[in-house]
Amino acid sequence: MHRSNRTISDENAVIIEDMLSSGIGATDAYRYMAQEAGGEDMIRYTKRDCINYVNRLKILTIEGGDAQTLLNILEDQSAENDDFFYRVRLDEDGRLNHVFWRDSMMKDDFTIFGDVMVFDTTYRTNKYNLICAPFVGLNNYKKNVMFGCAFLSNEKIETFVCLFETFKKSMGGRSPISLFTDQDLAMSKAIEKVFPQTRHRLCIWHLHQNAQSHLGKLKSDKTFYDAFQRCITGCIDSYDFEECWKAMVENHNLQNNSWIQRLYELREKWSNAFNKEYFSAGILSSQRSESTNHALGFKAKKTTNLTEFYGLFKQTIERWRSNELSDEFQCIRGQPTTTLPMTGIIEQASKVYTLTVFKDFEKQFMRCLAGSFSLLSEAYDFKLYQVKDGQHTYQVSFYNVMSTLVTCTCNLFEECGMLCSHCLRILLTHSIDKIPDCYINKRWTKLAKQAL
């Protein structure tokens, strides 16, 4: 217990530092070391010594300024990797306005999976109240993939414009097809300026969160919830949406609700009825939207500084990439299980799609077996069918001249990159046992990254 007899050996110091970099706190690190040694009386330092050592490490990390330390880290990363990209923008007073970075793999991932992106501003490094804003997408296993990350000091239009221009430049000038964000006016104006061809969408998760705060107890009313959810994802077209919305407002006396009125004005940004022709990769489901908006999977503490946050961020990316390698290995070594005969279209889909995407395709195929249809008209090699699916009917156009073409008014292929059950039903009717090449979206295949 004498101070002169207490010391942390170099070997123990290395272990503590490794545990600290893995997100393990000083107290837990001490308990582990004590357990490994056979008890607290078997190691030559106290818990307070361990805590003080960890605090000294943090002081060394942020010595000279936390922001400068982070910039030094990014500069070192850039020196090690020629394609590592980062930019720092200061305001007119010389204070940090925003910093953005992405590594070479993030650029490769954006090249393949950058058709859909979520920009999330829900994380804050609480010590400075800076906003951590990751750019997130979905890979061919329908798992989160990172395109880049930024720290922002504010949420002004000019800040978002500058950041989006930086991101676009880092990706060679490419823009996503669909960009999901929360309901922020400044962000919306910046997107219109920097990504004029991109379809700006509002995240379902944020929409439900806002509904909870603006509608109170009504949000827990199942009748209202079902009607609200149908307005978001269940309407087949704009006419259907208008009828559903009008009934919901009247049935729950929401005519004078200002939030409902504002939401209606933004309907083209959040209702699926107005966006079926824009690719969204299936991100519209509430479960998918929520997991994407909680992408980083950790929460910063009140004492978390920039360099610590960057360390946690890197751990998250390493975990994602490790999971992706595991998914890739499972796809290579294994075949999907199915109750359907492994022949024809199903056999082809099992060989082409990743295991995750194959399960979604299998559901569409099984639905097509139960669907009924009728021929509406035909001319030469063109046929127009009506396919019944539950309470809805859809029209499927089938062309079979030089190559097989099939389109459906449900627009599932345009929206999710996969043939719908209605199209599959018509293909089977014409004894076509292979998915036409033009309807296999490479981003969902096992070989999505092969071209890189």
Is residue 435 very low, low, confident or very high in pLDDT (cuts 50, 70, 90)? very high
- Residue 225 CA, chain-centre distance (Å), reads 24
- pLDDT score recorded for residue 215: 82
Structure tokens at 137: 């997408």
**Do residues 261 and 176 touch, judged by C-beta distance below 8 A?**
no
Among the listed ranges 32-36, 321-325, 364-368, which one has the minimum average pLDDT value?
Answer: 32-36
- Please say if the pLDDT value at position 256 is more than 60: yes
What is the residue type of 441? N
Give dist(CA 210, CA 322) in Å, integer.
Answer: 34
Percent of the chain at pLDDT > 70 equals 89
- Please say if the pLDDT value at position 62 is more than 50: no
Name which residue leads in pLDDT, 428 or 55.
428
- Please say if the pLDDT value at position 287 is more than 60: no
Q: Which residues contact 206 (CB under 8 A, 6 or more apart)?
A: 182, 183, 293
- Please say if the pLDDT value at position 415 is more than 70: yes
Structure tokens at 200: 């700006």
- Please say if the pLDDT value at position 428 is more than 50: yes
Distances in Å between the Cα of 142 and the Cα atoms of 110, 255, 260, 416 are 14, 39, 32, 12
Average pLDDT over residues 39-67: 67
Report pTM: 0.81
